[in-house]
């Protein structure tokens, strides 16, 4: 099965398991930038690691620090392999752009409606550079 996602920030092809969150998250205070673990005590996926996953975000809870947390995740090697977003979050995407400007390997970001993300939970996905998502 294949899906097509809109490319928000392009990148190389990625293959990784999908962590599809069931609730929006704030990266600031919600994700430990040193470990990649979800630390928000109220989040349904608390304790899950976003490191190396295709992270499907049904939404984000705004924080102007989200880009800094994502930048720290990239620097620590704990960033997602790719990010699927229901709607673009300019602050979070800024973290990817800054990481690349610093010469670090940062994940691509794509737009996929939240209602399509949950079917991907726990599946291994391959994302092409052109935005095709293959469910393995």
Contact 76, 34 (CB under 8 A): yes
For residue 62, is pLDDT > 80? Answer: no
The single residue of 63, 65, 67, 128 carrying the catalytic annotation is 63
State the average pLDDT for the chain: 96
Q: What is the mean pLDDT of residues 28-45?
A: 97
Is residue 10 part of the annotated active site? The answer reads no
For residues 79-92, give the mean pLDDT: 96
Q: CA-CA distance, 73 to 83, in Å (whole number)?
A: 13
Q: Quick one: tokens of 26? A: 């704030």
Query: The tokens of 46 are what?
Result: 């608390």
Strand 6-9 vs strand 14-20: parallel, antiparallel, or unpaired? unpaired
Domain of residue 10, residue span: 2-135
The number of distinct structural domains making up the chain is 1
Pick from 26, 81, 31: nearest CA to 51 = 81
* CATH code assigned at 106: 3.50.30.10
């Amino acid at each position: 099965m294949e899906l097509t996602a809109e490319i928000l920030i392009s990148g190389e092809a990625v293959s990784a398991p999908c962590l599809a969150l069931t609730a929006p998250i704030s990266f600031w205070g919600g994700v430990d930038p040193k470990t990649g673990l979800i630390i928000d005590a109220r989040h349904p996926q608390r304790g899950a690691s976003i490191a190396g996953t295709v992270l499907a975000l049904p939404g984000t809870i705004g924080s102007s620090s989200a880009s800094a947390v994502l930048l720290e995740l990239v620097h620590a090697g704990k960033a997602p392999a790719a990010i699927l977003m229901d709607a673009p979050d300019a602050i979070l995407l800024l973290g990817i752009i800054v990481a690349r400007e610093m010469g670090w390997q940062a994940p691509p970001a794509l737009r996929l409606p939240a209602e399509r993300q949950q079917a991907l939970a726990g599946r291994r996905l391959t994302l092409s550079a052109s935005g095709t998502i293959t469910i393995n």
